Every structure is written in structure tokens, then in C-alpha cells.
Amino acid sequence: MSEWIEIGDLEDVPRRGARCVGVPGLRLAVFRTQQDQVFAIENRCPHRGGPLSEGIVHGASVTCPLHNWAFDLETGRAQGADAGEVRTFAVRIVAGRIQLALGELMRVAAE
């Protein structure tokens, strides 16, 4: 993992909330939990394409606003009886700033 790109301040994302990140060719959202863990996942529910960034964040999970599928933010896997997965992305916090791995983003966006 070579290059990291800064996308904003940790404080810009509400606790138990999410923000979208605009990357051409990709729907991406960054989530922040109550405990200030940060996750980046594809902002698209595999069920009907719902924007997961608009869902309710609980623990390290999010529930899709359209039909209540819940996903583990860390693994991207659907929980409970539903089967499906969203792509997860590397993300880190450096001095209160959120950083994404640029190479991975470029690669996925180009797919």
C-alpha cells in the first residue's frame, strides 16, 4: 500500500453516521461508529442498490434504509438471514484526518 489520500476530518463524519465520498465510477461512503472506529465501504446495498450511507449505524453495523438489510462494516457481509456482501476499502486515521488508499480506489474505479 503505497499512497494514502486525505478525504477530511474525523469530526466531519457524525458519530453513528456516514458521509459519501465522490469517486467517479464508484459509490463510496465512510462510516464512523460511536467508538470512533472508521470504515469505508461501497455505498450500494447488493439487494436493491440502497444507499447504505443513509442507514442507521449501530455498533459496527449499518442497516440499509430501503429494506432493512444489515451489514457488518468491517467485513462488508450481510447479517442475519440475508446473504450478500459489499466491497470494503482500506481506511485509516492519521492525526484526526481520514485517509483512503489511493491505489485501491483507482483500481476499483477503473474496473
Partner 1 sequence: MKEKLVIIGNGMAPGRMLERLFETDPDRYQVVIFNAEPRVNYDRIMLSPVLSGEKQFEDIIIHGDAWYIEHGITLYKGCKVERIDRETRTVHSVNGISETYDRLVIATGSVPFIIPVPGKDLAGVVTYRDLDDVHAMMLAAKSRGRAVVIGGGLLGLEAAAGLNDQGMDVTVVHIMPTLMERQLDAAAGYLLAEAVKARGIKLMTSANTRQIVGETRVTGVELADGTILPADMVVMAVGIRPNAALARDAGLAVNRGIVVDAQMRTSDPAIYALGECVEVEGQVFGLVAPLYDMAGILAAGLLGEPAEFVPVATATRLKVTGINLYSAGDFAEGEDREEIVLRDATAGVYKRLVLEHDRIVGAVLYGDTGDGAWYFDMLRKGTDTRPFRDTVIFGQAYQGGTPLDPMAAVAALPDDAEICGCNGVCKGKITGAIAGKALSSLDAVRAHTKASASCGSCTHLVEQLLHLTLGDRYNPAAVQPICPCTGYGHDDVRRLIIAKALKSIPAIMQELEWRTSCGCAKCRPALNYYLLADWPGEYVDDSQSRFINERVHANIQKDGTYSVVPRMWGGVTSPRELRAIADVADRFAIPAIKVTGGQRIDLLGVKKQDLPAVWADLNAAGMVSGAAYAKGLRTVKTCVGSDWCRFGTQDSTGFGIRLERFMWGSWTPAKVKLAVSGCPRNCAEATCKDIGVICVESGYDIHFAGAAGLEIRGTELLCHAGSEDEAFEIVVALTQLYREQGRYLERIYKWAKRVGTGSIRAAVVEDRERRRHYFDRFAFSQRFAQIDPWQERVNGRDAHEFAALAEFGPPVAAQ
Residues that bind partner 1 (CB under 8 A): 7-8, 12-17, 19-25, 30, 33-35, 48-51, 54-59, 61, 63, 65-66, 68, 70, 98, 105-106, 109-110
For residues 53 and 76, which CB has a smaller minimum distance to partner 1 in the complex?
Answer: 53
Query: What are the grid coordinates assigned to 40, written together?
Result: 469505508
For residues 50 and 76, which CB has a smaller minimum distance to partner 1 in the complex?
Answer: 50
Greatest extent of the chain over all pairs of C-alpha atoms, in Å? 39
Q: How far apart are CA 72 and CA 58, in angstroms?
A: 10
Residue ranges in the chain assigned as alpha helix (H): 102-110
For residues 71 and 76, which CB has a smaller minimum distance to partner 1 in the complex?
Answer: 71
Q: Quote the least distance from Cβ 57 to partner 1, whole Å.
A: 7
Q: How far apart are CA 61 and CA 18, in angstroms?
A: 11
